[in-house]
């Protein structure tokens, strides 16, 4: 009887694991479709609109299942211009991740790779840049005082005065999505305009105030005169309580498409990103987040938390 109970328990655990993995893969395919739909909507308005999903690099493959034979999903790859990856080599200290590093190396030949590294000491910064640039990726390294993407580093890797009109041409980027250190919107604009970064990743809003197309236009020229790209951050896998779309009533009774709390972020919730109501928030209409980004004159969108499928259904 004891043996039977153990076997039954083991079978339940295996079945639960398989079921969880199956749900994760189904959700990954829904995220693939979601990213493609966002891209098609945006490019229907602006054919040159740039789409860069962050993380979830498995989505680049057929059925979201890499087999290391370059089995790329062409529909997905045609919908994006690059892939952002957080902490590929450094998450505080150096670490090795064969799986993600192998996928990044493979995808490098098919799209632009943008890596955001975090080092817990400035003594590691140069090595983090070297690791990435040696592989052909462009990289942004943040140190402890810049953990929340609040600062503009004083040094720019591969600084140049070239005109950057496509993501493929970019040699560096600035990741600056937190504006809390700037006293006003214009102070933020002036600080960014004074740099020579090829690509600016920033938020659509300064506090609750959206940037205008005239303001974004001020950022599309580097201090040295070269043209550059300005890309808006958009969280597509988690709802944020501080955004324009959040309703006060949701603090008491949340809509059914909110899944669970985003651990470590008090104002964010993982969402059922395949839900129609969430889609309407993100794209497809004049009040959608994507349309606001387009109206503000951004060159594209940086899609955060596309790996939500993993955190919703696989990770314990």
CA–CA separation, 269 and 290 (whole Å): 19
Output the pTM of the full model: 0.92
Given a contact cutoff of 8 angstroms between Cβ atoms, the answer to whether 290 and 234 are in contact is yes
101-159: per-residue pLDDT in tens?
Answer: 999 999 999 999 999 999 999 999 999 999 999 999 999 999 999 999 999 999 999 99
Residues 6 or more apart in contact with residue 307 via CB below 8 angstroms: 55, 56, 237
- H or E stretch covering 10: helix 2-45
Q: What distances in angstroms separate CA 170 from CA 75, 115, 208, 282, one per listed residue? A: 24, 13, 30, 27
Average model confidence (pLDDT) for the chain? Answer: 92
Lowest mean pLDDT among 11-15, 51-55, 307-311: 11-15
What's the mean pLDDT in 183-191?
A: 97
The span from the CA of 230 to the CA of 212, in Å, is 13
C-alpha–C-alpha distance, residues 239 and 59, integer Å: 21
> At residue 53, does pLDDT exceed 60?
yes
Find the range with the poorest average confidence among 12-26, 32-46, 134-148, 176-190.
12-26
| pLDDT (tens digit per residue) in 226-269 | 999 999 999 999 999 999 999 999 999 999 999 888 888 889 99
pLDDT tens readout for residues 284-312: 999 999 999 999 999 999 999 999 998 77
């Amino acid at each position: 009887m004891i043996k039977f109970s153990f076997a039954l328990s083991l079978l339940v655990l295996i079945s639960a694991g398989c079921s969880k993995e199956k749900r994760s893969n189904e959700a990954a395919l829904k995220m693939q479709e979601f990213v493609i739909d966002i891209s098609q909507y945006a490019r229907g308005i602006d054919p040159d609109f740039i789409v860069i999903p962050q993380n979830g690099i498995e989505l680049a493959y057929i059925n979201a299942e890499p087999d290391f034979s370059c089995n790329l999903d062409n529909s997905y790859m045609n919908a994006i211009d690059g892939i952002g990856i957080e902490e590929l080599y450094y998450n505080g200290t150096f670490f090795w991740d064969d799986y993600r590093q192998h996928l990044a190396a493979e995808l490098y030949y098919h799209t632009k790779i943008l890596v955001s590294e975090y080092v817990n000491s400035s003594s590691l910064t140069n090595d983090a840049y070297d690791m990435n640039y040696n592989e052909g990726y462009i990289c942004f390294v943040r140190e402890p005082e810049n953990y929340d993407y609040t600062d503009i580093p004083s040094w720019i890797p591969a600084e140049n005065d070239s005109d950057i009109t496509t993501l493929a041409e970019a040699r560096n980027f600035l990741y600056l999505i937190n504006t809390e250190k700037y006293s006003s919107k214009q102070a933020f604009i002036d600080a960014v305009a004074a740099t020579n970064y090829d690509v600016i990743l920033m938020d659509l809003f300064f506090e609750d105030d959206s940037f205008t197309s005239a303001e974004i236009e001020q950022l599309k020229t580097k201090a040295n005169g070269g043209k550059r790209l300005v890309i808006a951050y958009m969280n597509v896998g988690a709802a944020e309580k501080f955004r324009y779309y959040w309703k006060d009533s949701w603090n008491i009774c949340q809509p059914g498409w909110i899944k669970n709390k985003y651990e470590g972020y008090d104002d964010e919730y993982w969402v059922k990103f395949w839900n129609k109501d969430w889609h309407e928030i993100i794209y497809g209409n004049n009040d959608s987040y994507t349309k606001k980004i387009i109206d503000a004159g951004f060159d594209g969108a940086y899609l955060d938390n596309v790996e939500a499928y993993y955190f919703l259904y696989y990770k314990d």
